[in-house]
Amino acid sequence: MNKQELIGVVSETIGLPRSDTSRAVEAMLETIGRELERGHEVRLVGFGSFSVTKRKASTGRNPRTGEPMSIKATAQPKFRPGKTLKDRVG
């Protein structure tokens, strides 16, 4: 399911026009992204938690040449499913 399909299903489920549902979904995704950018965690009880993990800088090897290369420190978004979601899937 892609975002447009999700918007369509939610729109039908709650009986709102597709344009209103689209704005609501976009606002939710924007808010989650903004909070992660600020370094905050977003918890949706029963669904899961979004957070940011930090990876340290490290040294790796270029797979083509075998030469050592430095890998910069990065921040990665992370999602941990909640119990209710885990129970539904598995």
Measured distance between the N- and C-terminal CA atoms of the chain, rounded to whole angstroms:
19
Domain spans of the chain? 1-39, 41-90
Residue type, position 48, single letter: G
Task: Classify 56 as helix, strand or coil.
Answer: coil
Q: With 0.85 as the threshold, say if the pTM is over it.
A: no
Q: Which CATH class for the 41-90 domain?
A: few secondary structures
pLDDT in tens, the chain (90 residues): 999 999 999 999 999 999 999 999 999 999 999 999 999 999 999 999 999 999 999 999 999 999 999 999 999 999 999 999 999 998
